[in-house]
């Protein structure tokens, strides 16, 4: 009887919307992480534009943008994973 209440309260369409949002957030997180990797490699691999090799070898001063993209990507990935788990559990409770 309890599973009927969960299904009625949440609704069948809402669960699939949350599941889709979770997948979208995971894809967005992966995209941000790849973008950060490309930005970091592009910045540190251009030796011909550097005045000296110290910045290339030590990565000092560090650029904030790639690190921020990586952190944002992990946050999106974690949120998407949480949404997928939440909607999966809700679907299981609704159909049991």
Token readout for 42 is: 């592009």
Using a cut of 0.75, tell me whether the model's pTM lies above it.
no
Contact yes or no for 27/95 (Cβ under 8 A)? no
User: Could you give the C-alpha distances from 81 to 4, 23, 27, 43, in angstroms and in order?
Assistant: 25, 8, 10, 31
Mean pLDDT in the chain?
A: 80
Compare 35 and 2 and report the one with higher pLDDT.
Answer: 35
pLDDT for res 7:
54
- Read off the pLDDT of residues 47-69 as tens digits, 9 standing for 90 and up: 556 666 666 666 666 667 888 88
What is the helix, strand, coil percentage profile of the chain, to 5?
Answer: 85, 0, 15
Evaluate the omega torsion of the peptide bond into residue 61 and state whether it is cis, within 30 degrees of 0: yes
- HSE at residue 11, side-chain half, CA atoms within 13 A, is 4
Per-residue pLDDT tens over the stretch 77-90: 999 999 999 988 88
């Amino acid at each position: 009887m309890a599973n009927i209440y969960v299904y009625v309260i949440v609704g069948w369409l809402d669960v699939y919307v949350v599941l889709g949002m979770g997948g979208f957030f995971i894809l967005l997180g992966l995209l941000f992480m790849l973008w950060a990797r490309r930005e970091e490699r592009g910045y540190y691999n251009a030796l011909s534009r550097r005045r000296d090799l110290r910045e290339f070898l030590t990565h000092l001063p560090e650029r904030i943008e790639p690190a921020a993209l990586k952190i944002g990507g992990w946050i999106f990935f974690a949120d998407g994973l949480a949404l997928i788990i939440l909607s999966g559990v809700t679907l299981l409770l609704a159909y049991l």
